Amino acid sequence: MNNSTTTIETNTDFEVRSLDAMCLNESTLKHPWWYNLKYLFIGIVFGILLVKSEVISWFRIQEMFRLESFQMYGIIGSAVVTGIISILIIKKFNIKTIYGEKIEFHSKKFSKGQVYGGLIFGFGWALTGACPGPLFAQIGTGVLVTSITLLSAIAGTWMYGRMRESLPH
Amino acid sequence: MIDFLKQPWPWYISGPLIGLMVPLLLILGNKTFGVSSSLRHVCAICVPLKVPYFNYDWKKEAWNLCFVGGILVGGIIAGAFLLNGQPIEVSPKLVTEMSKYGITDYHSLVPAQLFNWPQLFTFKGLILMVGGGFLVGFGTRYAGGCTSGHSIMGLSNLQMPSLIATICFMAGGFIMTNLILPYILMLN
């Protein structure tokens, strides 16, 4: 435990983590591995939603970027509104996690990466018709060739990690 | 009931349900909704080499891998039991436009005429799948999140950087779809 903590402190500075959607507000509680199964379940629900809302469809993404359908805007918009209201409720009533921990929120810091990286992701999103979540869901629905797209996305992530120091942030 | 579920779910049902992932993950264990970090964890597990960005205790982020594993299983379940085999209904304008590029099959959510194994060995398929995938992986990590981490989680928490990221996602998508993709689709 102590060893692993030191590894993090020396190699992954706070800024790296705060730039990321990665879990900052990590629980200090120690749980057995099978506690993670609840996230598997949430993932299953999310995966089904991605398929049934047709977010995983290349056609829907095309419609969105051609302004030919309201569907995707409705989905993302109503998801954000639901998220905003939920977080307001959590903050207002100081709702705790099911283990009684305080739910913490961390502010994201601006970086040029959000602009450059955002544009690059936008290009990829339009080409593949899938953001990362739908890549996994597409494979699940039997479009096995998407696993190549996913592997390529992992390669892209790796390349970013490799080049990170020399990129503007 | 099952027939009802097999139809596409309207945005006003699926959107709010997707939004509920945010409080669910927070309440179940202080987890921040986000998918693309899982790609970083895969790198950290498989090929960290000496890259500092991939040397961290990924076991602490194992929940995220369970989460994306769940998305895959969810896809399997939805694909096996919740699709009715009807072609996807898209706007007539898109149908007209796509027919110019020979895309006429709407039976799969993912156009089978573009995304298949033989296509992978064409220039067009290579750009769409391998090139597109690479940009998704590189861009999301550079931006620090994807549609879930920034556009849903970040915007839900009223984060200005997430709004900037989301605007850039959309700008990139508009540029690619309208200015560049038509030329790619014209390739044989």
Q: Give the pLDDT of residue A32.
A: 84
pLDDT band at B2 (very low <50, low <70, confident <90, very high): confident
Stretch A114-132: mean pLDDT: 97
pLDDT band at B188 (very low <50, low <70, confident <90, very high): confident
Strand ranges in B68-178 using DSSP code E only, listed in sequence order = none
Pick the residue of A76, A127, A135, A148 with the most B CBs within 10 A to test the interface with B by mutation: A127
Q: Give the pLDDT of residue A8.
A: 39
Q: Give the pLDDT of residue B143.
A: 97
**Shortest CB distance from A128 goes to which of B25, B129, B166?**
B129
Q: Give the pLDDT of residue B111.
A: 96
User: Could you tell me if A66 and B7 are in contact, meaning their C-beta atoms sit under 8 angstroms apart?
Assistant: no
**Shortest CB distance from A167 goes to which of B79, B142, B173?**
B142
Of residues A25 and A167, which shows the higher confidence score? A167
Q: Give the pLDDT of residue A24.
A: 55
Q: Is it the case that residue A21 has pLDDT exceeding 60?
A: no
- B 62-91 near A (Cβ less than 8 A): 62-64, 66-79, 82-83, 88, 90-91
Q: Is it the case that residue A82 has pLDDT exceeding 60?
A: yes
pLDDT band at A2 (very low <50, low <70, confident <90, very high): very low
- B 12-51 near A (Cβ less than 8 A): 12, 14-40, 42-43, 47, 51
Give the Cα separation of B116 and B96 in Å (integer). 22
**Shortest CB distance from B77 goes to which of A44, A70, A157?**
A44
- B 115-174 near A (Cβ less than 8 A): 115-117, 119-120, 127-162, 164-174
User: Could you tell me if B125 and B133 are in contact, meaning their C-beta atoms sit under 8 angstroms apart?
Assistant: no
B95 touches chain A (CB under 8 A): no
Percent of residues, chain A, with pLDDT higher than 90: 78
Q: Give the pLDDT of residue A12.
A: 39
Q: Is it the case that residue A135 has pLDDT exceeding 60?
A: yes
pLDDT band at B161 (very low <50, low <70, confident <90, very high): very high
Pick the residue of A28, A29, A35, A51 with the most B CBs within 10 A to test the interface with B by mutation: A51
Structure tokens at B86: 């009807």
- DSSP 8-class letter at B34: -
Q: Give the pLDDT of residue B25.
A: 97
Q: Is B134 exposed, middle or buried (0-12, 13-18, 19+ CB in 10 A)?
A: buried
Percent of residues, chain B, with pLDDT higher than 70: 100
pLDDT band at A15 (very low <50, low <70, confident <90, very high): very low
**Shortest CB distance from A82 goes to which of B16, B77, B120?**
B16
Neighbours of B105 (CB within 10 A): 12
B182 touches chain A (CB under 8 A): no
Q: Is it the case that residue B178 has pLDDT exceeding 70?
A: yes
Distance in Å, alpha carbon of B96 to nearest chain A alpha carbon: 12
pLDDT band at B156 (very low <50, low <70, confident <90, very high): very high
> How far, in whole angstroms, is CA B116 from its chain's centroid?
18
User: Could you tell me if B118 and A108 are in contact, meaning their C-beta atoms sit under 8 angstroms apart?
Assistant: no
Stretch A76-100: mean pLDDT: 97
Q: Is it the case that residue B153 has pLDDT exceeding 70?
A: yes
The ipTM, to two decimals, is 0.96
- DSSP 8-class letter at B8: P
Q: A167: which chain B residues are within 8 Å (Cβ-Cβ)?
A: 142
Sign of the Cα pseudo-torsion (B102, B106, B111, B112, in order)? negative
Pick the residue of A39, A103, A111, A162 with the most B CBs within 10 A to test the interface with B by mutation: A39
Domain boundaries, chain B: 1-83, 114-188
Q: Give the pLDDT of residue A61.
A: 97
